[in-house]
Structure 1
Amino acid sequence: MSPFLQALPEPVAAARGVRLLLWRDDLVSPELPGNKARKLKYNLLEARRLGHGRLLTFGGAYSNHLAAVAAAGRLHGFATVGLVRGEAAGAPNPTLARCATDGMALHYLDRTTYRCRTEPAFLAELQARFGPAYLLPEGGTNALALIGMAELATEIRQQVAFDALAVAVGTGGTLAGLLTGLRGPEKVVGVAALKNGGFLKDDIDALTREATGQIFGKYMLAKDYHFGGYAKYSADLLAFIRQFEERHGVLLDPIYTGKLLFGVLDLIGQGYFPPGSTVVAVHTGGLQAWAGWHARFGERR
């Protein structure tokens, strides 16, 4: 078995006749782990092709995406600019401190201004202010990002035959990319990390249509495992993350992968996956979130 595949011998899976595996994308590239590296891969190549030496992007104060872009800039020789949602408040949190250490210039936007981040006039203003830059959307999700995520579906298929991939959903880019990489009967199950995530279906369909000209029906969006919303949590979620690490030696994060595995195990228990199924959950990284989480909430896993 691949070093990036790990069996998860969970009693509920055994009882339902489901083979549950974990793909450790958090281990594939230690300095730039998980789905963010895959989303950035072809964007970085395009930035280089267009002659850009600077990347400009957007994110919240605890954004995995900002952290990834800053790391990518350091590793691949790009200057980076991060437009952060919200006002600066004292010393930067651990996520933003890491971004600054990696060379990212951080600038704060009030929430009203931040909402303009996709408007052409505002983007032109940013180009004039910061100089020519390759623009990356919030979360890193665009058509080029889907190409990188499609490669993950191929990599997993080369290692194991599966019936379903399961992934956490924020912007929908990871799920959309996996869909474009499937060429058989396999399906994708997405566990939404934010509340009221029904709109994500339209976003996912728009992404696959932009990238491939097609809409794919082979996915299900689970919307009941958000624990109150994006970056929200409960004692039950934190206890689940602790217990999962004790059982399997794998640390999950409280924003995405903790909710993913909680949801997948609950769906297995409900009989969503037929007996005999092989389900591969994808650990997309994001563990840098713990430092910011502790600083923000004071909670320990």
Structure 2
Amino acid sequence: MIHPLILTLENTLLNEKNIRIAIYRGDLEHEKAPGNKWHKLKFNLEAAKVQGAKQLISFGGPYSNHLHALGNIALSFDITPIAIVRGELQPKLTPTLRDFVKAGGVLWPSKRIDYKAGMDSEFVANLKNYYPDAYWVPEGGSNSLGVQGCCDWAQEIDAQTKTLGEFNTWVVSAGTGATSAGFLAYEKIEKNNSPDILVFPALKGGEGLLNDIRRFALTQNPNTDIERLKIIGDYHHGGYAKLPQGLKDYIEKLHSLNPGLQLDPVYTAKVVYGLEQEIVKGNLDNKNLLLIHTGGLQGWSGYQ
């Protein structure tokens, strides 16, 4: 699952700066919920099953990777997936939502003002009365069980690095921060060898995730060394899900160098681009970098 990654930068530059880089192919995990999606959902699904829940309700946009994964796997737990979708539904559903319905899911459109209010909205209060036996999961699977799943995932990833030498820095994208928090909460037995966690948010103002990530990590592991975390918020390319031509051209160039690798446009592609820029700036000298591919390739359905 750990493969070499060829950047658009010259190898001589990487050698001069003593930088080594590889990619963990989370996109090749779990066909129905690739990348971090399964790991954030698995303990929530188990908890819903123990609770005897008949439905699992969560939140997401019309192209949500999280909802797509939930729709794919919830019925295998004998639980009906229900999505509260941001924005009014259009007559023609997105490919993501069509897949969700095809998998047996139920859609509830939410006004943006209600969606922003989340669990405190009157809309959710009404749904709780309508589905009294439902289990609720926050957007992106970002709760303590989602973080626990990502902490376990970090242990699995680390086990695969044993024969490859130590990676002193793990690099990951962020939407809600649950994956980053799980990685930060994971610590090796020799704590001073635990990797630093370098986070590239996919949305504007992503630096604001810092406190959420630290809080989630400390809840999972009160002894977490939060100084291992660094957030770089300069490479969102205009905001969440924005795909300017320059980034699109970069993705195509990177694919030509790595024919077996596909990057999603919302998360991982922006991370690789940001990494290259930080290398050129001299901010990552003497680093052994492990980039985590978090999946999300179905997100391409939202672009021409």
Does TM, scored on the shorter chain, surpass 0.5? Answer: yes
| Matched residue, 1:177 | 182
* Corresponding position of 1:197: 206
CA-to-aligned-CA distance 1:200-238 (integer Å, 9 cap, x gap):
111112212333335512011010000011111211111
| Deviation digits for residues 66-112 of structure 1 (CA, Å, limit 9, x no counterpart) | 11111121333210110101011121011111111111101101111
Selected match of 2:197 from 188, 191, 201:
188
1:118–1:13 CA distance, 2 compared to 1 (3 A) = farther
CA distance in 2, matches of 1:63, 1:201: 22
More moved, 95-104 vs 205-214:
205-214
Other structure's SS at 1:226 match: coil
- Residues 21/228 of structure 1: CA separation in 2 closer, same or farther (3 Å cut): same
Partners of 2:114 and 2:121 within 8 A in 1 = no
Match of 1:280 in 2: 290
Greater mean deviation of Cα atoms: 35-44 or 180-189? 180-189
CA–CA distance in structure 1, aligned partners of residues 251 and 283 of structure 2: 22
**Residues 45-84 of structure 1 aligned to structure 2 (within 5 Å):** 45-84=46-85
Choose 124-133 or 279-288, whichever is displaced more.
Answer: 124-133
* 1:5 shift after superposition: 0.5
Q: Distance in 2 between matches of 1:14 and 1:234?
A: 31
Offset of residue 123 of structure 1: 3.9
Q: State yes or no: 1:6 paired with 2:6.
A: no
Whether the aligned pair in 1 keeps the contact of 2:21 and 2:290 (CA below 8 Å) is yes
State which of 202, 209, 230 in structure 1 corresponds to 2:218: 209
Say if 1:268 and 1:81 are closer, same or farther in 2 by CA, change over 3 A: same
Structure 2: tracts of 5 or more residues without a match: none
How far does residue 182 in structure 1 lie from its aligned partner after superposition? 2.6
Q: What code does the residue aligned with 1:75 have?
A: S
- Are the counterparts in 2 of residues 116 and 122 from structure 1 also a CA contact under 8 Å? no
State the 1:246 CA deviation. 1.1
Normalising by the residue count of structure 1, what TM-score does the alignment of the two structures yield?
A: 0.91
The alpha-carbon deviation at position 15 of structure 1 amounts to 4.1
The aligned counterpart of 1:244 is 254
* Distance in 2 between residues matched to 1:54 and 1:130, nearest whole Å: 8
For residue 272 of structure 1, give the secondary structure of its aligned residue in structure 2.
coil
Q: Hey, what's the Cα distance between the residues in 2 that align with 1:232 and 1:9?
A: 24
- Are residues 1:271 and 2:272 paired? no
Amino acid at match of 2:34: P
Q: 1:122 to 1:251 in 2, by over 3 A?
A: same
Of the structure 1 ranges 133-142 and 265-274, higher mean CA displacement relative to structure 2 is found in: 265-274
Per-residue Cα deviation, 1:164-211 (whole angstroms, up to 9, x for no partner)? 100001101110010011333410000010012221111112212333
1:63-212 to structure 2, matched below 5 A, reads 63-119=64-120, 123-160=124-161, 161-183=166-188, 184=191, 185=193, 186-212=195-221
Given that 1:150 and 1:182 are in contact with CA atoms closer than 8 Å, whether structure 2 keeps it comes out as: no
- The residue that corresponds to 1:222 in the other structure is 232
TM-fit CA distance, 1:289 = 0.5
Change beyond 3 A, Cα 1:120–1:83: closer
Give the structure 2 partner of residue 256 of structure 1: 267
Q: Distance in 1 between matches of 2:240 and 2:203?
A: 4
Normalising to structure 2: TM-score of the pair? Answer: 0.91
| 1:58–1:66 contact (8 Å) kept in structure 2 | yes
CA distance in structure 1 between the partners assigned to 2:151 and 2:171 by the alignment: 14
More moved, 61-70 vs 126-135: 126-135
| Cα contact 1:13–1:265 (8 A) shared by 2 | no
Q: 1:50 to 1:149 in 2, by over 3 A?
A: same
What is the alpha-carbon root mean square deviation over aligned residues? 1.6
**Is the CA contact (8 Å cut-off) linking 2:81 and 2:105 kept in structure 1?**
yes
Q: Distance in 1 between matches of 2:14 and 2:257?
A: 14
Stretches of structure 1 lacking an aligned partner (at least 5 in a row)? none
